[in-house]
């Protein structure tokens, strides 16, 4: 399971003050200046081991040491990275650079954002990529550094660097659609009609791994319902936004979809059994599920219907001719404010956008937001990353960071409640009221 990001408003679960480095070492102007008497700068790099695996980080470390012989990279790569680095950070021993996205359950990145404990890296994007004669900003796809996921304080300064990106959408078995002669719906009216047709053959229209996967789903619906301005208002806890006609369309669509959801979904929509819901697509027991490109790797060894073929489509439009969105999630890399080698860390951050690094990452299925990178992809990834070439618009970014508000989580209210809506334990009105209430409480705490 790949967990995603920017669900701000969570109650902070950790607290990190601005602690002095334990050995008092002074950070010099760049990685070469840190070298004394022939000694190398030891750069501490901490990265989450996700579905892409850890081998790619070993290759990256080796490639950077070859490119920059003044640096030795010491890696910490773990599936539970927070548990590994948090105790040291509390003791004042910080990694120099960290790959850990927003949106994980332990909310480490969000906590550091709230504590103003992440370094401003705006200058990194004006630097040349290490080993190349091009600036970082000129290699990046437009828009990836203009979101609340990278600029959490909405102050035009970048604190988190965009890393591996994954288009999201509704995943399905393309072979089943070919076999049945069904068209992939382009509108929600077409979706409901297909759901009625599939039901007669014992197939449910929809399932979902866990309610956490509704973030991209609902973000896309918000964009379809009201456009970018409305979306940004919602992400900044705008007054009354969740009780607006645009929001009504979003809540009503999810509520109707609940009636088309495969019956076993809620029981398995948890961190232990979520793959059982994903298996419903492979077994032709449900037609669509919200997910990201990582699902292919997660389910690569799972049994499947004969001839199974992955397909992915953007969110259906709310009306004929309306916009369709495929939300893009991307991971983030950042430098703690108390890192010992900040300038060396910034040099390393430029390197991860090099052609050399991008090719290493891509071998493991991790795609950097670099121009023309999609042209290098093959197979399923070629299909998934071309979704924006087929009329879908890209949505990015999430909720703005706030000061901690005890007991209030916008993600719990907006996404976590969906199981109860699908099971019938809560009404749509209850759900909508809870989201508006959480938003009202977070608005005064907006940074």
Where are the chain's structural domains?
41-166+328-395, 168-327+404-445
Residue 177 burial (10 A CB sphere; 0-12, 13-18, 19+): middle
Instruction: Give pLDDT tens digits for 78-93.
Output: 999 999 999 999 999 9
- Calculate ∠ Cα 267-272-274, nearest 5°: 60
Q: Identify the pLDDT of residue 12.
A: 31
- For the segment 217-268, what is each residue's pLDDT rounded down to a tens digit? 999 999 999 998 899 899 999 999 999 999 999 999 999 999 999 999 999 9
Q: Tell me whether the CATH fold assigned to 41-166+328-395 matches the one assigned to 168-327+404-445.
A: yes
Quickly name the fold that domain 168-327+404-445 has.
Answer: D-Maltodextrin-Binding Protein; domain 2 (3.40.190)
State residue 385's pLDDT score. 87
Q: What is the mean pLDDT of the chain?
A: 89
Among residues 442, 8, 420, which one has the least CA distance to residue 255? 420
CA distance 445 to 442: 5
The more confident residue out of 403 and 323 is: 323
Average pLDDT over residues 53-62: 97
Share of the chain above pLDDT 90, in %: 74
Query: Of 168-182, 243-257, 391-405, which gets the smallest average pLDDT?
Result: 391-405
Residues 42 and 361: beta-carbon distance below 8 Å: no
Confidence of residue 9 (pLDDT cuts 50, 70, 90): very low
Which range in 74-83, 104-113, 399-408 is most confidently predicted, on average pLDDT?
Answer: 74-83
pLDDT tens, residue by residue, 128-172: 999 999 999 999 988 888 888 898 887 889 999 999 998 999 999
Contact by Cβ (8 Å): 295, 304: no
Q: Which of 150, 171, 145 is nearest to 387 (CA)?
A: 171
- Is there a contact between 344 and 74 (Cβ–Cβ < 8 Å)? no
Give CATH for domain 41-166+328-395: 3.40.190.10
In angstroms, what is the C-alpha Rg of the chain?
22
Q: How many CB atoms lie within 10 A of CB 42?
A: 14
Cα separation, 198 vs 281, whole angstroms: 13
Across the range 195-211, mean pLDDT stands at 97
Quick one: pLDDT at residue 127?
98
pLDDT at 16 > cutoff 70: no
Q: Which two tokens stand for residue 219?
A: 């973000």
* Burial environment of residue 287 by CB neighbours within 10 A (0 to 12, 13 to 18, 19 or more): buried
CB contact burial 118-132 (16+ within 10 A = b; e otherwise)? bbebeebbeeebbbb
357 phi and psi angles, rounded to 5 deg: -65, -45
Q: Which of 74-83, 85-94, 379-388 has the lowest mean pLDDT?
A: 379-388
pLDDT level of residue 36 (50, 70, 90 thresholds): low
- Given this model, what pLDDT does residue 105 score? 76
């Amino acid at each position: 399971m790949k967990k995603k990001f920017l669900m701000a408003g969570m109650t902070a679960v950790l607290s990190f003050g601005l602690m002095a480095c334990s050995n008092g070492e002074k950070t010099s102007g760049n990685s070469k200046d840190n070298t004394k008497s022939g000694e190398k700068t030891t750069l501490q790099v901490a990265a989450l081991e996700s579905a892409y695996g850890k081998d790619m980080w070993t290759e990256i470390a080796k490639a950077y040491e070859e490119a920059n012989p003044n640096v030795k990279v010491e890696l910490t790569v773990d599936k539970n990275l927070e548990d590994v680095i948090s105790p040291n950070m509390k003791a004042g021993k910080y990694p120099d650079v960290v790959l850990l996205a927003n949106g994980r359950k332990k909310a480490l990145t969000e906590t550091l954002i709230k504590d103003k404990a992440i370094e401003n890296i705006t200058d990194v994007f004006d630097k040349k990529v290490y080993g190349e004669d091009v600036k970082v900003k000129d290699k990046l796809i437009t828009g990836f550094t203009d979101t609340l996921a990278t600029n959490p304080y909405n102050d035009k300064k970048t604190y988190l660097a965009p890393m591996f990106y994954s288009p999201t959408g509704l995943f399905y078995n393309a072979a089943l659609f070919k076999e049945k002669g069904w068209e992939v719906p382009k509108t929600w009216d077409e979706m409901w009609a297909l759901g009625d047709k599939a039901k007669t053959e014992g197939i449910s229209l929809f399932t979902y791994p866990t309610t956490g996967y509704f973030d991209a789903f609902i973000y896309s619906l918000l964009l379809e319902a009201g456009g970018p301005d409305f979306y940004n208002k919602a992400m900044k806890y705008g007054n009354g936004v969740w009780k607006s006609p645009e929001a009504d369309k979003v809540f009503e669509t999810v509520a109707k979809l609940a009636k088309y959801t495969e019956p076993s979904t809620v029981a398995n929509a948890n961190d232990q059994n979520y793959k059982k819901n994903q298996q419903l697509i492979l077994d032709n027991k449900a037609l669509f599920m919200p997910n990201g490109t990582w699902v292919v790797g997660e389910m690569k060894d799972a049994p499947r219907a004969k001839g199974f073929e992955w397909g992915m489509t953007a969110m259906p439009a709310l009306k004929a001719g309306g916009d369709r969105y495929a939300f893009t999630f991307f991971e983030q890399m950042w430098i703690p404010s108390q890192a010992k080698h900040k300038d060396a860390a910034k040099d390393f951050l430029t390197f991860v956008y090099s052609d050399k690094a991008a090719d290493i990452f891509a071998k493991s299925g991790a795609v950097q937001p670099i121009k023309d990178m999609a042209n290098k992809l093959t197979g399923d990834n070629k299909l998934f990353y071309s979704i924006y070439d087929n009329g879908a618009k890209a949505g990015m970014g999430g909720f703005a960071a706030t000061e901690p508000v005890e007991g209030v989580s916008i993600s719990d209210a907006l996404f976590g409640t969906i199981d109860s809506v699908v099971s019938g334990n809560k009404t749509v009105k209850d759900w909508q009221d809870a989201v508006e209430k959480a938003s009202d409480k977070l608005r005064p705490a907006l940074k």
